[in-house]
A = this chain, B = another copy of it.
Amino acid sequence: MPASSVPDIVVGRLPLYLRALSQMTTEGKEVTSSQELGERLGISSAQIRKDLSQFGEFGKQGTGYAIPFLADQLRRILRVKSIWDVALVGVGDLGRAVAHYAGFVDRGYRIVALYDNDPRKIGEQIGSFTIMDSATMVSNIRSREIHVAMLAVPASDAQQVSARLIEAGVRAILCYAPTSIVVPDTVHVQYIDPVLHLQRMTYYLG
């Protein structure tokens, strides 16, 4: 089945499988099963087998999955066998924490450019990067062929900044601003808003 026909909800579970396999590798495991993966993830083993079968045959009946092989296949499918350059826009408290986060690079992403529009921040050094003036963002991102961006600006700026990122050639935006942004169909957006997750849980608390 061509990858383009795989439902997005299935695509969304693949990174969970890859993360669990990486943890198993860290623990020294070499083989796993859909049952074991399912117990770790709270997903049924049947669902896991069905999801993976959309992309090929990765395990043998009765012997389970070879972890290094399956992890490698998932990296290929998710296109993280090489590392994506990422631009980060907005270097407030959250942007700083994201810039310092060490967990991106071994999972396929590397922040290579920081932008802000606050004159007091422009020129400041964060790790090995200098915060650049977001006025230069469009030409800078375009010339460096960066296609992935994280947005940690205030909600009121998110739509306008997104439009400029898209103008610069960005095709995937991870939006930390607590708002929805409108983008063309050719651009992918994912959101991180902790309150959405909290409300989804407190709904169930009597």
- A residues near B (Cβ < 8 Å) are 3, 8, 11-12, 14-16, 18-20, 23, 39-42, 77-80, 84, 86, 93-94, 96-98, 100-101, 103-104, 107-109, 147-148, 150, 155, 171-172, 174, 178-180, 182, 188-205
A179 CA to B41 CA, complexed, in Å: 9
10 nearest A-B pairs in the assembled complex, by CB-CB distance: A190-B197, A172-B201, A15-B199, A97-B97, A188-B201, A93-B97, A15-B196, A107-B195, A94-B97, A78-B199
In the complex this chain forms, how many copies of it are found?
2
A6 → chain B closest CB, angstroms: 9
Cβ-defined contact, A193 with B19, below 8 A: yes
Instruction: For A16, list chain B residues within 8 Å (CB).
Output: 180, 196
Cβ-defined contact, A180 with B20, below 8 A: yes
Instruction: For A8, list chain B residues within 8 Å (CB).
Output: 200
Cβ-defined contact, A205 with B171, below 8 A: yes
Cβ-defined contact, A199 with B80, below 8 A: yes
Instruction: For A193, list chain B residues within 8 Å (CB).
Output: 19
Cβ-defined contact, B195 with A109, below 8 A: yes
A197 CA to B86 CA, complexed, in Å: 13
Assuming the contacts A93-B97, A178-B103, A195-B108, asked whether A200 and B41 have C-beta atoms less than 8 A apart, the reply is no
Cβ-defined contact, B96 with A11, below 8 A: no
Instruction: For A79, list chain B residues within 8 Å (CB).
Output: 202-203, 205
Instruction: For A155, list chain B residues within 8 Å (CB).
Output: 23
Cβ-defined contact, B179 with A19, below 8 A: yes
**Told that A19-B195, A104-B198 touch, could you supply 20 new A-B pairs with CB distance under 8 A?**
A11-B203, A12-B200, A15-B199, A16-B180, A19-B196, A80-B202, A94-B101, A104-B195, A108-B198, A148-B198, A148-B202, A148-B205, A172-B204, A172-B205, A174-B198, A188-B201, A189-B201, A190-B197, A190-B198, A191-B197
